[in-house]
Chains A and B, each alone.
Chain A
């Protein structure tokens, strides 16, 4: 209160000038933050790397009850977004034939978000630019034991993805308990003690 009282002092030109300058600075800062947020939103969308995919496929071992011998990895893309399908194709090619350190075989397939069908899918990887579809994807995964994964931490924070992942410079797995619960997934307690819950 005291500081705002200074701004209202009609007798102090110096103070008025200071107040104007301060307001301008605050407005500039807000504008800057908004601009940064826009940029961040536009680039939200870190493409999952082969290392990210390897980490995610390792998580399959910690799903209870145990995943069956073959797991389907769906790579979701937006057909209306230029380049999205080719990104999905690239990711599909990066999915290894077998989950590391396990007997689980992996089958990759690309899937447009306009024709979502997550029945039988174990992992759904999201290509960049699907932020607007996160909620729909999350709803499609509900109860189907699908591990939804994004390279964007905000997806897990918004409880739309079970995991958000990054591996540079070090491995980070952000876990949404609410998204996992909605998807009907359970993980080993040891894994949940090692990931970051958001």
Chain B
């Protein structure tokens, strides 16, 4: 069996007496569309933060491309090809949409430390950022300040910033959260159009989104993996239905 792009082994994280992540064994294969679901407070965002390196693990290991990165800082994991989006937008709100994407691209190609050359002279960075916006159908909004965009389009910029790093592994924390249903299709389309070789982990409550994109689903309950399988297996698993899907159906 090949080495998975991203893997965790017995990953744990405690906050005081609360175990937010308990012995999580998880594998994300190249090109996967993997969904992470679970009720509120199941530890989904904690798990993403552990994968991204935003918080430190209490015990266990995180492996990126077979390399142990448990003690590696977030910025270094990003350089190794791991990008993420946030459940609540983290954008450069006062800047234009194009500048929002210029920043990650400049970091990736190593242009960002350059001090004595105008940013615009790095036409390679400008053009790549613009090309990325075209792919996401954001080109018309490129000159606008990101804070002026409707929320659904801001969500798309959130995704664009992560893609500016050309990640091999992409963690999407509730990509459609807060987007009015009239606009949610633009997010779904964008996720559907992601380059196939990227391994994507989607954390979401939205069952439509999960069952539309995922080829594999992991259910997290109480900080631990409750079940893992194909959408069909998870959908027909009576325990999962009882714990989660049933709740959602009633809720």
Asked if A pairs with B, the answer is: no
